[in-house]
Every structure is written in structure tokens, then in C-alpha cells.
Amino acid sequence: MSLESFAAPDDMYRSRGTDVNPQRLLFTGDVYSGVAIAGVQDSGLAIVIEHPCTMRGTMAQLNDFVLAISVREHEPMGANGWKTRCYDLTPLPDLTGTQLYVGDFLKVGRASTSELSSKPRLACASEFGINLLQQRLVWHMTRCLIPTSTISEAFSHLFEEADLCEDWTDTLFEVGINEVEARQSFDAFLTADLGNGRTLQKDLSETQLRSAVRAQCRTAAQDIVRARREGE
Amino acid sequence: MSEIQTFDQTRSTSTAAAPELPTKTRTISELVQDIGWSHNRTRILGDDVADLRRQSADMYRDASDILLDQKARDLVLRPAVELLAFLAGAGFAWRDIARMIGVSVPAVRKWRLGESPTSQNLFAIAKTVALVEILQHELPVTDVAAWMEIPPVVGAPTNPIDLVSNGFFTEVIGLALDHLTPEELIERHVPDWQERYQSNFEVFEASDGELGIRPKSNGDH
């Protein structure tokens, strides 16, 4: 068994360049430019490697700092090469144009979240891209090889929540509700106690319940938009 | 067992020679012959059933292709925004909708905001809607999005959304109809799935309520 790799560069990204949705919350696998990493660089490319579970505190408030690693250009390397080589790096193929970039696990440090929020976001990783990043990070740190399918099983509900939050924020933006207010209302909706400690956020951990949670979130967001329009 | 060889072993069940009706007293040799005949007939019937199953699956695949195509051609007349709203209303994630159509999430977002997809992409959206409508209204699948998200084989993360993303539309219909077993379908999609998805780790709920990963306990090996 070896580390996994991507079939095509597109597999690694949810969005790149001008396709990045500014409404999407800061997440693992986001690549920013002009970022300072304590003890590593004053300004440069960086990718967030902190696990989403630990980058936010109560009420989904971002912590002041997240773990990030420096990103730089790298000579071309085929997808299969990543299975057995360069264990201290993580690939970012075609990050801009057809240039291969890499995140360097040896150049790790804290990045300010307030600074990140004000910097250009070059890319958001796909779920597979994040899982691959996590696989390489764990391998680099511990020499423990965890299949991306297992990482996905433990991680996908968080990716789902980020997607839903983006969807919610996009919808509320139609009636001028800003990002901060939208995220607060989303968090309140998702964590509302439905009885016996059940919340929609917890339901997201169950694959068979996710479609119902999505439908409820979309309806609730539309209800907010409708109410706002009627109130105008 | 030489008696068995004397029977007609062609695939046509009608030409298999039936033994004479049993008499009150029968020899061991006659009984062996009867058993041999029954054994042969069972095998021929089994082959016929397998053939019929294959023919039926082929016919259903062709019919499903035509049905999907026909429905998609009707649906393609509707605006992309409406078709995408249908899929969202069914509970699909935007990233899964994008994968099934074969485009990026930002592309779908642009269409939702009013940009027009190419005719090829519009047909891909319509075909995905057609599949969901068929599963929802003509087959016994109640919550299509949930059904398509859940991997049908334990130990393999591949789900019907992955299959559709790779063009296995009619096979997914076959799965809903039990024309194909989940294992058969996964074998076609990922022939080495048992090896590829073998994991010595398991997901568990940690004391803080969040999920974590740990090695499988000995009992699970």
C-alpha cells in the first residue's frame, strides 16, 4: 500500500482563481497569497492545513490563528510520483496555469485568520484534495498511512457543513444580508436543539440524513429571504 | 454415471428426452438414470434462467437508455435554473450535482445565478434530472438523494452518485430494480475495490462528540 494521488489536477480543487466564492468560509486546503507565517515567511503563498474541527471555537467563531504551511513552485512531477516520493511536500498541480506548486510540511507555522480573511484566496481544495493533504500530513508527521476513504468517512460531514454555509450565505446575500450575519443565523439554525440533544449539525454525521438536512437548510434560507422581501 | 451421457444435453429444454414413467419395482440402475436426468434438466433450466436474466438485463438497459434519452429531451426545454432547483430540492449537494453533470462547482453556481450552460451541459443536467425522476416516480426509491449517497456495499465507499459521475446511468437504474447486485456494479466500476478500500482503521465518536480515526480493534480483523 502506498500514498494515494490524483487522477487529474482538477480532482484537487473545488475552485481556483476567479471561480473562488468569496462567501465560502475559511477552510482546510485554502490557498492564500501574501500571507505571513510566524517563523517561516513575512509574505508569500500559504495553504491552511489545520483540521476544521480545531480551527473554530464556540458559535463557529474562527480562532485567531490557524496552522499553515508555505507554498512554492516545484519542478514538474507526474501524479504517480506523489505515491512514493517527496513525503515532506503536498502537491498543488495547476494551481495557476499549468504550474506545479507544493506545500512544504517543513515550513509550518501559525497564520493570522484576520490577515487570511483580507488576502486573495487563490484556491479552495476539493474534498478529495483535503483528504489527500491530510493523508500526506499524517504520513509526514507519524509514518502512519490512513486511506483517504477512511479520512473522508470521518471528515465529510464537516465539508458538508462548509458547503451548506456557503449555500446559505449566497442565498441571504440576495437580500443584502452580510456574511457575518448570515453565518451567525446559519450556525444558530444548524445547532438548534431539536430535542434529546439532536441537532441538524449532528444529523450531518449520518449519511442517510444529509439530504434531508440540506433540504431543510435551503427551505429555511429561502424563508428568511422571503420574510426580508416582504418586510421591505 | 455413464447413463447421464446418453441424455440430450442441448440447451433446448423441449428436446430433453424424458424417462419412462416409474414402475413399481425399479432397479438401482434406473434410479441412477432418473437422478442423472433430473440433474441434467436442472442444469439446462439453470442455464436457460441465466440466459433469460442476461437477455432481460440487456433489454432493460436498452429500454432505460431510450427512456432516459426521451425524458432528457423533454426536460432540456426547461431553463437550467429550474432543473438545478429540482435537484437541489431533492436534497443533493451542489458538489454532487456538479460531479453528476461532469462540471465544476463554480460552473453550476454560475448557472444558478443566471448564466446559460452550453447545449451539451444543459443536456447533461436534463439527463441527471431524468434519472432522478425515473428513480423517484417509476421505481421504488423514496428519498433518491439519500439512496444515491449511501454506498450499497459495506467496505466500499463508491455510491450511485460516483457511478453516475462515471456515466453508469442505466446501471444505477438496474441497481434500483435489483437487476444488478451492488457487488456486480462495484466490480464494474472499481475492479480492485476489495484491495483498494482495505483499511486497518475505523471511524469512531471521540469523547468530545467529534469523529476520530483509530486502528481497528482485533475483533474486527
Average pLDDT, chain A: 94
Domain that holds residue A214: 150-231
Provide the CB-side half-sphere exposure for A105 (13 A, CA). Answer: 16
Provide the CB-side half-sphere exposure for A132 (13 A, CA). Answer: 25
What pLDDT is attached to residue B8?
A: 45
> Hey, which residues 25-84 in chain B have their CB within 8 Å of chain A?
none
**Structural domain contains residue A136:** yes
What the block records as the C-alpha cell of B55 is 437477455
Looking at the fold, whether A208 and A142 belong to one and the same domain comes out as no
Check CB contact of B94 with chain A, cutoff 8 Å. yes
Place of cell 502537491: A91
Q: Provide the CATH number for the domain around residue A120.
A: 2.30.30.110
Domain count, chain A: 2
3-state SS assignment for residue A108: strand
Q: Look at A208 and B149 and tell me if their CB atoms are within 8 Å.
A: yes
Ordered mean pLDDT values, 10 residues apiece, chain B (221 residues): 43 55 75 91 93 83 90 96 95 96 95 94 97 90 93 90 93 87 87 85 89 79 44
What pLDDT is attached to residue A59?
A: 62
Query: Nearest CB to A147: which of B104, B143, B199?
Result: B199
Count the Cβ atoms, other than its own, within 10 Å of residue B133: 17
Contacts of A146 in chain B (CB under 8 A): 199, 201, 213
Q: Look at B93 and A210 and tell me if their CB atoms are within 8 Å.
A: yes
**Structural domain contains residue A3:** no
Give the integer Cα–Cα distance in Å for B2 and A24: 76
Ordered mean pLDDT values, 10 residues apiece, chain A (232 residues): 92 95 93 97 97 78 93 95 96 95 98 95 96 97 94 92 94 92 94 93 93 95 94 79
Give the integer Cα–Cα distance in Å for B26 and A37: 94
Contact assessment for residue A28 and residue A132, using Cβ atoms and an 8 Å cutoff: no
**Structural domain contains residue A54:** yes
Contacts of B210 in chain A (CB under 8 A): 53
Looking at the fold, whether A134 and A215 belong to one and the same domain comes out as no
For the stretch A178-206, pLDDT in tens is: 988 999 999 999 999 999 889 999 999 99
Of A112, A129, A146, the position where a domain reaches its end is A146
Helix H or strand E encompassing B203: strand B201-205
DSSP assignment string, A157-212: HHHHHHHHHHHHHHHHHTTT--HHHHHHHHHHHHH---STT--HHHHTTSHHHHHH
**Structural domain contains residue A90:** yes
What pLDDT is attached to residue B56?
A: 81
**Structural domain contains residue A225:** yes
Looking at the fold, whether A109 and A125 belong to one and the same domain comes out as yes
Alpha helices in chain B (DSSP H): 28-75, 80-89, 94-101, 105-112, 119-133, 144-149, 160-165, 169-176, 182-189, 193-196
What the block records as the C-alpha cell of B209 is 462528540
Contact assessment for residue A174 and residue A180, using Cβ atoms and an 8 Å cutoff: no
Q: Look at A211 and B90 and tell me if their CB atoms are within 8 Å.
A: yes
Query: Where exactly are the structural domains of chain B?
Result: 2-46, 63-196
Check CB contact of B203 with chain A, cutoff 8 Å. yes
Count the Cβ atoms, other than its own, within 10 Å of residue B76: 18
If you measure CA to CA, which chain B residue comes closest to A52? B210
Looking at the fold, whether A33 and A117 belong to one and the same domain comes out as yes
Contacts of A205 in chain B (CB under 8 A): 211
Check CB contact of B212 with chain A, cutoff 8 Å. yes
- The letter for the amino acid at B151 is P
Burial of residue A21, with CB atoms counted within 10 A of its CB: 0-12 exposed, 13-18 middle, 19 or more buried: middle
Q: Look at A205 and B202 and tell me if their CB atoms are within 8 Å.
A: no
What pLDDT is attached to residue B64?
A: 86
**pTM of the complete model:** 0.83
| Cα-trace Rg, chain B | 26
